[in-house]
Amino acid sequence: DMAMLDMDYVISAVGAGGASGNNRPEKVDYEGVMNMATAAAGADIKQFVLLSSMGVTHDDHPLNRMFGNVLRWKAKGEQALRDSGVPYTIVRPGGLINTPGGEARVVAVQGDPIMDAARIPREDVAKVCVKALSEPGARNRTFEIFTEDGAAVSDWTAFFAELQPDAPAAPAAPAALNVD
């Protein structure tokens, strides 16, 4: 796609600006991400890093009630990226905080556990997104991140190597043969 001509990588940190209107989650977190994923597929992008959110698989999450089903739409955007065929990394941070990064251990988990107290500095989220671009162990993986007491990550290859790849998409069912 022309929008991504001569680009190798995409990091998307888009997010809806409100529960309704043109900047609502359906338009930004789903349709916007789907359109970027489609453009990336047409432009042979080497990797697309999508910043999503912890909690996207929990339909009854309070954020859905407060912000126009934002997490449901983010989940649909994630799936659109997975389905695009573009190599991807989906990063789901816990609650974003404004403290300096690099002062605690970044921890990655998978399976979208309910962790209401999980927090992470924005600076650490940005570092994970950038590091994911150069690590094969980050490709085609979806994971949650937060920080806890401990030394900052020094070996990003090992950090990403602990993650399991997402299950490949199921192939489409073959069309039924009409045998007379």
pLDDT for the residue numbered 67:
85
At residue 83, what are phi and psi to the nearest 5 degrees?
-75, -15
pLDDT for the residue numbered 116:
84
Q: Give the residue carrying structure tokens 């404004």.
A: 98
DSSP conformational letter for 138: G
Question: Which sequence positions are flagged as catalytic?
Answer: 53
* Beta-bridge partners for 21: none
Q: Give the residue carrying structure tokens 């080497």.
A: 46
Identify the band that residue 171 occupies on the pLDDT scale cut at 50, 70 and 90. low
For residue 180, is pLDDT > 60?
no
Quote the pTM value: 0.90
Helices 33-42/70-84 angle, 10° precision: 10
Per DSSP, the three-state class of 93 is strand
